[in-house]
Amino acid sequence: MKSKLFLTVLLLAAIITGGCPRDKQSQDTKEKAAKAELDRISKLPTDVQSLAGVKSILVRVGIFGEEAEFLGLAKEQLKEDVESQIRLVEIKVNSQEEWSASEERAFLGVSINDVSNDDSSIIAFFVTVEFVQPVELPRSPFRVVMGATWKAHGYGMLPKRELPEMVRQAVKDHVDLFIKDYLTANPKK
């Protein structure tokens, strides 16, 4: 009887002073894992660090210039291409409604600009893919604005008839860079 009372008192003392040793080990393990993850992320380039913890994104596409859409470059097709590419690596793509309701409010913006001379069969284009998310301004910590924290861009000149295919390929290549950096910041477990 004395031994049962002693064990009960010992167990209660253990619970009161910090719980079971197994719980303490579990908490220590979680803390060490969290610290290791923070250390890993802090060693990444800043733009890649900005992708850590992002759970979902919206894709926005803009085509600016006079000829790209006329030559057959469709905004909706580009958007579908990018969303498919992102979904292949299991990044959640938000609808506009989901994005509006989310706290993250992050988006991958794709913009295409073209410049051509009406007399020429050559066209110049500029492709930008950027990850935009809410950021806090250091000089005004209570003010949050949307800012591009990751960006890739490129340009080229080519015959007008080649524009749609070459721009789609350039966008694909830039989105591949985004995906690579995203997966570096958010490795699958």
State the SS3 of the chain: CHHHHHHHHHHHHHHHCCCCHHHHHHHHHHHHHHHHHHHHHHCCCHHHHCCCCCCEEEEEEEEECCCCCCCCCCHHHHHHHHHHHHHHCCCEECCHHHHHHCCCCCEEEEEEEEEECCCCCEEEEEEEEEEEEEEEECCEEEEEEEEEEEEEEEEEEEEHHHHHHHHHHHHHHHHHHHHHHHHHHCCCC
Distance between CA 41 and CA 39 in Å, rounded?
A: 6
pTM: 0.77
Q: What is the pLDDT of residues 19-75, one digit of tens each?
A: 555 566 667 776 766 666 666 666 677 888 899 999 999 999 999 987 888 888 899
From CA 185, how far away is CA 177, in angstroms rounded?
12
Length reported for the chain:
189
All structural domains of the chain with their residue ranges: 2-42, 46-185
Q: pLDDT digits over 11-26, tens only? A: 445 555 555 555 666 6
177 Cβ contact partners less than 8 Å away, ≥ 6 residues apart: 129, 152
Q: Which residues does residue 144 pair with via DSSP β-bridges, in sequence order?
A: 136
Question: What CATH topology corresponds to 46-185?
Answer: Rossmann fold (3.40.50)
Across 26-40, 83-97, 98-112, least confident range:
26-40
* pLDDT at residue 154 greater than cutoff 60: yes
pLDDT, tens only, 167-184: 999 999 999 999 999 999
